[in-house]
């Protein structure tokens, strides 16, 4: 595995590979890698010739500085995992490498409706940070294919919008969420849960299953309220339990029985904020 810290070194290598007709796959991460990340790299390896993983904890997407300071850093373990599955390239840039002019006066991007609901509403500025860093990384790597996980459902929609707005030819592949045996979605933030919280965390998955079981045409408010109650009664502080149109993310209060529906949850256990989702219709 080749490790690059600077953009010129990485680009010289990738441009040379491109001249040989090799396809590049890209998996951007913030480290604290788990099986979900590794499955994306394995998908990239199956689909492309060179798989690039980046590890960069992006300061501009944390609306809470406390959350940024507590984000788990496990670089040695991450490198071992990447070596273990045969990752070709690891890009480890500094903040100065990604933001040479600093992070104070970055451009503001038009994200429209996506920035006003769910994660956009509860984490102001978060998707601006996601857009900023992903635009930069995609310009640096110039990958043929980009691999991301469905757990960050709304973020995937933002990235798809970025690709269209910036006229970037990279193709986005969204992989299903990987779960622990008890159903909890794999997440770097799970490392911050204490043993009791880790047991309790599975109620997010149970709340999603409950919404799936209760879904029927008509008013949806009772279904959302029941999911909120399940979480609140088990010690969560809930940001949202939402049923939304799976393509537009428009929150639904009524369901016509045919529109595609996704259930989305964000809730705190102590200081740790967990998100998850489940597409309820096919």
Summarize pLDDT for 134-152 with one digit per residue, the tens: 999 999 999 999 999 999 9
> Residue 282 pLDDT more than 90?
no
Once rounded to an integer, what is the mean pLDDT over residues 197-218? 98
Please give the pLDDT value at position 66. Answer: 87
Q: Is the pLDDT of residue 273 over 90?
A: yes
Give the H or E element holding residue 262.
Answer: strand 261-269
Report, as residue numbers or ranges, the catalytic residues. Answer: 37
3-state secondary structure of 80: helix
Write out the two tokens for 89: 């390239």
Q: Is 114 helix (H, G, I), strand (E, B) or coil?
A: helix
Q: Under CATH, what is the fold of the domain 2-175?
A: Rossmann fold (3.40.50)
pLDDT per position as a tens digit, 10-41: 999 999 999 999 999 999 999 999 999 999 99
Backbone angles phi, psi at 40, to 5 degrees: -65, -40
Residues making up the binding site for beta-alanine: 61
Q: In what order do the strands lie in the sheet with 50-55?
A: 2-4, 89-91, 50-55, 24-29, 145-149, 171-175
Share of residues in the chain with pLDDT > 70 (%)? 100
Pull the structure tokens for residue 261.
């529906």
What is residue 64's predicted lDDT score, i.e. its pLDDT?
A: 87
Give 251's contacts (C-beta < 8 A, 6+ positions apart).
117, 118, 242, 243, 244
Average pLDDT rounded to a whole number, residues 151-161: 98
Check: CB of residue 41 under 8 Å from CB of residue 149: no
- Element spanning 221, H or E: helix 221-232
Residue 264: beta bridge partners? Answer: 242, 277
Domain 188-277 has CATH 3.30.1300.10: yes
Question: Taking the model in full, what pTM does it have?
Answer: 0.97
Burial code (b: 16+ CB inside 10 Å, e: under 16) for 220-247 equals beebbeebbebbeebebebbbbbbbebe
pLDDT tens, residue by residue, 43-89: 999 999 999 999 999 999 998 888 999 999 999 999 999 999 999 99
Annotated binding site: 30-37, 61, 149-152, 155, 178, 186-189
Return the half-sphere exposure (C-beta side, CA atoms, 13 A cut-off) of residue 179: 14
HSE-CB at 35 with a 13 A cutoff on CA atoms is 9
pLDDT > 90? residue 280: yes
Mean confidence (pLDDT) of the chain:
97
Mean pLDDT of 163-183: 98
Segment 249-274 mean pLDDT: 98
Backbone phi, psi, residue 243, to 5°: -115, 125
Instruction: Print the SS3 string covering 224-249.
Output: HHHHHHHHHCCCCEEEEEEEEECCCC
Q: What is the DSSP string of 165-197?
A: HTT--PEEEEEPPPB-TTSPBP-GGGGGS-HHH
Summarize the confidence of residues 191-201 as an average pLDDT: 98
Q: Which segments are annotated as binding site for (R)-pantoate? A: 61, 155
Instruction: Give domain limits for the chain.
Output: 2-175, 188-277
Question: What is the per-residue pLDDT for 122?
Answer: 97
| The pLDDT of residue 165 | 97
């Amino acid at each position: 595995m080749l490790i690059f810290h600077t953009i010129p070194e990485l680009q010289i290598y990738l441009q040379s590979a491109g001249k040989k007709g090799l396809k590049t796959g890209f998996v951007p991460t913030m480290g604290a890698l788990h099986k979900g990340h590794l499955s994306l790299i394995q998908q990239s390896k199956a689909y492309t010739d060179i798989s690039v993983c980046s590890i960069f904890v992006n300061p501009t997407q944390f609306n809470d500085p406390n959350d940024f300071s507590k984000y788990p850093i496990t670089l040695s373990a991450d490198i071992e995992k990447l070596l273990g599955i045969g990752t070709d390239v690891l890009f480890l840039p500094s903040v100065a490498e990604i933001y040479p002019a600093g992070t104070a006066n970055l451009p503001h991007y038009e994200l429209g409706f996506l920035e006003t609901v769910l994660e956009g509403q509860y984490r102001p500025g978060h998707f601006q940070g996601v857009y900023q860093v992903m635009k930069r990384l995609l310009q640096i790597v110039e990958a043929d294919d980009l691999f991301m996980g469905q757990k960050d459902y709304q973020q995937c929609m933002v990235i798809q919008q970025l690709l269209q707005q910036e006229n970037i030819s990279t193709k986005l592949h969204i992989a299903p969420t990987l779960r622990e045996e008890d159903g909890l979605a794999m997440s770097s933030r799970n490392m911050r849960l204490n043993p009791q919280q880790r047991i309790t965390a599975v109620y997010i998955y149970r709340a999603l299953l409950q919404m799936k079981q209760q879904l029927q045409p008509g008013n949806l408010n009772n279904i959302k309220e029941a999911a909120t109650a399940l979480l609140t009664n088990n010690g969560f502080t809930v940001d949202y339990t939402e049923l939304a149109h799976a393509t537009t993310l428009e929150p639904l209060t009524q369901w016509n029985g045919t529109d595609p529906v996704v259930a989305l949850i964000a809730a705190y256990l102590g200081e740790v904020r967990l998100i998850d989702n489940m597409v309820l219709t096919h």
